[in-house]
Structure 1
Amino acid sequence: MHTPGESPSVALDGLELRVLHLPLVSPFTTSFGTETVREVIVLRTLGSGADGWGEIVTQNAPLYSSEYTQGAWDVTVRWLAPALLAAGTVSPPDVARILAPFVGHRMAKAGLELAVLDASLRTAGVSLARHLGAVRERVPSGVSVGIQADPAALVAAVGGYLAQGYERIKIKIAPGRDVAPTRAVREAFGDIPLQVDANSAYTLADAALLAELDRFDLLLLEQPLAEDDLVDHAQLARLVRTPVCLDESITSAKAAADAIDLGAAAIVNIKAGRVGGYLEAVRVHDVCRAAGVPVWCGGMLETGIGRAANAALAALPGFTLTGDVSASDRFYHRDIVTEPMTLTDGHVRVPSGPGIGVEVDEAAIDAVTVAREVIRR
């Protein structure tokens, strides 16, 4: 296991927050709705050293998570940012400790931690990948395909991504949009690496239906039941052959350990925003690796800021399954970084420059900013 090394403290004079509206290349539909524009908060540390960038991966409505843009903005402006600024000088590990008194709001906390990490590691001249313990210079890239109008449309969409070279396909499912679409993809493309994501759309009463997916030789069945249904997930895992993977249920290293002990998770999806930051994400990785449970890096339609950080995380040794670190043009015509992530031979490069290893394109970010606020000490 790797413990992230020392990182310099950052003198915080202020924090800049922006809400961005980025049009998506195509609508993205899941069991909880359709996005055509990605609403996201990005933030920047302001101080005497290098600025650092972070991303709060909430959505505009509390559908995937209890967190949402306006709530994250409010708690950050009113409580989290003032607490960090009051500390004056902070190191990346300090962020979680300083913000611990404020219950929940993991995505907001993760965005602040990433900004401090970026500033600290830029000052030290160390990449986030190296700091976290990455062992690869590039990682295999999978793609997440939203619910389509019908199986034929899904097959067409999947075919397009396979033609681009993506290593693994994930399709979203929901009641009534599950067995037939999965069958269509499997019959159209043979034994491609394929998995399905339910985003908590089912209950244990649907076990027989979910067991029908076993015939398609899937890599995994992701988060079929509700976030707090660990016991039911453990029971479902005994009723289906497809490995059950948990996403929304895994909110910390402790939650991961509990799920594994209960037999509720054969595989774990790690999202740094969902667990409160990249340092906690490493701890989740370590718990799973020690238990022999494979992990992969999930995505939240991140901009180039979060996408670069996810690539660094996905390069850790326990990430043995292909994740959702796709190329920027999977979602955006124009990303907000100067060198958007690209796909080469089914892989994306892990940034090796200081901090998150990418630079923000000021003109691009200005063009999609709909709200901005600077908070000073």
Structure 2
Amino acid sequence: MQITDVSAMTVDVPLIELDERLGIGPYVTNHGQVESMERVLVRVDTDEGISGWGEMRTFLSAAATEAIIEDGVGPLITGQSPFELERLRRQVFIEYTNVELFFAAVETACWDIAGKALGKPVHELLGGASAPEQTAAMNADAANAESASGDEVEFAFCLGILSPEESRVKAREALDAGFSVLKTKAGRDWKQDVARIEAMHDEVEGRLEFRLDPNQGWSLDQAVRVGAALEDAGIYLQYMEQPIRVNAHDSLATLRQRLRQPIAPNEDTYIPNNLRSLIDAGAMDVAVLDLTPAGGIAGLRQQAAIVEDAGVPYTHHCAFDLGVRTAAILHAVHGLPGFSLPPDTTYYAWEGDVIAEPFELTDGRMRVPSDPGLGIDVDMDAVEAYRV
């Protein structure tokens, strides 16, 4: 089997507005706000009539992203086997740039092709879906073995920067929808960030865990004050995500020593070799990984092995994922053992999707597809309706 073509198309899907149940638009962050999100869908075709799909965000523009995929990455892998994932990943190298960001969606499509050709879902090809069940059985923990063997993945609810009172409403909605973890953006006003967590914690009477993500928006002293203020209020976050700028690993280590709030780098994990540096510096309690900057599912597997070997728990990041990348995340976190914390998602807040059978979120969980490959079909009518 050989790759014959790589094509890309961009869609722009609106978010459900805040005044509707589970709506989060506009989604306000430290560096802007989102009312809709452009997503690039990537299709890889083969000479045996099997095609696979991947998905990523746009970088710079839709046209620029599509051009890099079609005119840059595509010619490098055309005529080669989609099964040779590691070879392709090492071959797609361009000096002075991290082209793995653009290769990731192509790589995901190759996993989709391989699964379809073999008649197996991607999580089975990854080989680790039953590993948590085995571990629980070895520990003679029947209850955990039963839950570990399920085919559902728990997710964390994501929320932008709102007022404390607006945040209260959304925290209640998340709890009522069955979520156990809520992640909220931060970084514009650290005192307001503390007030919002306190308001939500009060609203749900401590029945939600919280993640606080300023996207590098705090200075070291502000991060110390946020963590200490929440400790004084008796609130212990599941983690503080990338509280300060990237490549300040000694400062992250200092922050970790000064607070009892777990520290979880995210953007720092996008930079090659940073995971090793973070581990050596003692700068993280949790790793927030992402398959796109990792170069795809195989790259994510490599990163997961590094942090698991260091004894660091890890989870998966959300980038406003539609159904194709959500499927890839489901297979990855189910098929790669060690993802012990719920991945983030905003899937509940899309106006629509581009897959024929959108995922259902029940009690904060989504079912892992069992059909071959990623287990999804792209609805081309929906693609055309949202196409840029």
Same-fold call, TM > 0.5?
yes
CA distance in 1, matches of 2:177, 2:372: 30
Match of 1:199 among 188, 191, 215: 215
CA distance in 1, matches of 2:308, 2:323: 28
Matches within 5 A, 1:1-377: 10-25=1-16, 26-49=25-48, 50-58=50-58, 69-85=62-78, 87=80, 91-102=84-95, 103-132=97-126, 133-135=128-130, 136-148=150-162, 150-176=163-189, 177-191=192-206, 192-211=208-227, 212-215=229-232, 216-251=235-270, 254-315=273-334, 316-325=336-345, 328=347, 330-370=348-388
SS at match of 2:113: helix
Cα distance change on mapping 1:23 and 1:325 into 2, 3 Å = closer
How far off its partner does 1:252 sit? 6.2
Offset from partner CA, 1:263-300 (integer Å, 9 cap, x none): 11110111101222111111111122222111111111
CA contact (8 A) 2:175 2:204 kept: no
Cα distance change on mapping 1:312 and 1:252 into 2, 3 Å = farther
How far off its partner does 1:367 sit? 1.0
CA contact (8 A) 2:253 2:283 kept: yes
CA distance in 2, matches of 1:31, 1:106: 26
How far off its partner does 1:351 sit? 1.0
CA contact (8 A) 1:58 1:107 kept: no
CA distance in 1, matches of 2:281, 2:65: 32
CA distance in 2, matches of 1:346, 1:166: 4
CA distance in 1, matches of 2:340, 2:223: 28
Offset from partner CA, 1:166-192 (integer Å, 9 cap, x none): 221111111313111111111111222
SS at match of 2:267: coil
* Partner AA of 2:236 in structure 1: D
- TM normalised by structure 1 equals 0.88
CA distance in 2, matches of 1:339, 1:139: 18
CA contact (8 A) 2:6 2:70 kept: no
CA distance in 2, matches of 1:24, 1:94: 38
Cα distance change on mapping 1:209 and 1:74 into 2, 3 Å = farther
* Partner AA of 2:216 in structure 1: S
CA distance in 2, matches of 1:180, 1:248: 25
Matched length: 351
Offset from partner CA, 1:182-209 (integer Å, 9 cap, x none): 1111111122211111111112232432
CA distance in 2, matches of 1:86, 1:130: 26
Offset from partner CA, 1:247-274 (integer Å, 9 cap, x none): 1100267322221121111101111012
Any gaps of 5 or more consecutive residues in structure 1?
A: 1-9, 62-67, 371-377
The share of aligned pairs that are identical, in percent, is 25
How far off its partner does 1:88 sit? 6.8
What's the Cα RMSD here?
1.9
CA contact (8 A) 2:4 2:79 kept: no
